[in-house]
Amino acid sequence: MNHLSLIFEYGADGLTTSVNGVTQVGGSITLTKSDIGLSNVDNTTDAAKPISTTTQTALDLKVDKDGSKALSTNDFTDTDKNNLDANTAKVGYTEALVSANTDVAANTAKVGVTNGTVAGQMQYWNGSAWVVVAPTSNEGATLQMIGGVPTWTGGTPPTPNVTNPTTGEIWMDRNLGASQVATRSTDAASYGDLYQWGRDADGHQISTSGTTTNNATTPVPNGGNPWDGLFITEGSSPNDWLTPQDDNLWQGVSGTNNPCPSGYRLPTEAEWDAERTSWSSGNNSAGAFASPLKLPVAGSCSGSNGSLNFVGTRGGYWSSTVSSADSRFLSFGSGDAGMDAGSLFSGRSVRCLKD
């Protein structure tokens, strides 16, 4: 600490002639901080004040606060910090790291845990051994303890699909409502349902459903309406099951009444035509069945009276494309195939395309 030290000298007249050896000049004595022993005093801010070499050396050995490792003090040296970084990295074990660590591998083997073979596998201890729990492919499934055994329950099974290598498009591997992929062009179990264009799956599409002559006044199904679940027949133009007409019910995955599973939609006319032109076994029903989609000849349902037509001889598959008061659909028989236009009240097959 600095101490203030002043030595005064006086003349014969009693006036001060010097202070700490600094003499009077022109009646004044000008002192500096060094003249009075305060050479180390300054008005420097706290942040700018120097610290001693010893203090700085000690601070250099401290580790900086590191929020990523939840360090809140400076009680670690640089060596400690480096060790901490290395050990933190070791926490991120992978199967390869575990296998490479002989100690870990040996101890893992002792408890009977084996490496997984399929993504999503889990193991549980049944009291005497480790048992594998197979993964599920069901979306939204939950793992529950049933009889003391972890068991996957519920969820939505994945939609079976097939890819056309020529177009690159991914389709459902069967018609909506079909119980299986077609084994032949006339496989009845692969026919599926026959939808009126723009309607949801409210039961009307099933071949054994009843009929009604009452036109729907709203496209929303299952609202307690007298036509819900019934095939609606119409005897006059514009040959539609809905009054007034609505041409925007089956467009895209977000279509109002899109009957396809989540992530799937009705194909457009262009997408159906690209599929047809990729057939290598003929532009007909034989080519349709020989294609990756294995399209059967499921026939159609008359919008005039609800009767089944052309079952086993022709196939008709709706698109989402509307043309005037009709919709475009893929049509094929034993001697032809192409795109055609059909009234919206007709019942036809639906094959969904992955969006």
Q: Please answer whether residues 11 and 24 qualify as being in contact, where contact means their C-beta atoms are separated by less than 8 angstroms.
A: no
Q: Is residue 54 in a domain?
A: no
Q: Which of 131, 156, 177 is nearest to 352 (CA)?
A: 177
Same domain, 171 and 315: yes
Q: Is residue 108 in a domain?
A: no
Same domain, 165 and 35: no
Per-residue pLDDT tens, the chain, 355 aa: give them: 556 667 767 666 767 677 777 787 777 878 777 777 777 666 666 666 777 888 888 877 776 655 555 554 555 566 766 776 666 565 555 556 555 666 655 555 555 667 788 888 988 888 888 889 999 888 889 999 888 889 998 887 788 999 999 999 999 999 999 999 999 999 999 999 999 999 999 999 999 999 999 999 999 887 789 999 999 999 999 999 999 999 999 999 999 999 999 999 999 999 999 999 999 999 999 999 999 999 999 999 999 999 999 999 999 999 999 999 999 999 999 999 999 999 999 999 999 999 9
Domain limits for position 339:
161-355
Q: Is residue 300 in a domain?
A: yes
Q: Do you know the residue count of the chain?
A: 355
pTM above 0.75, yes or no: no
Tokens describing residue 138: 């069901």
Q: Is residue 135 in a domain?
A: no
Same domain, 171 and 35: no
Q: Is residue 343 in a domain?
A: yes
Same domain, 168 and 315: yes
Q: Is residue 10 in a domain?
A: yes
Q: How many domains does the chain have?
A: 2
Q: Is residue 186 in a domain?
A: yes
Same domain, 196 and 332: yes
Q: Is residue 315 in a domain?
A: yes
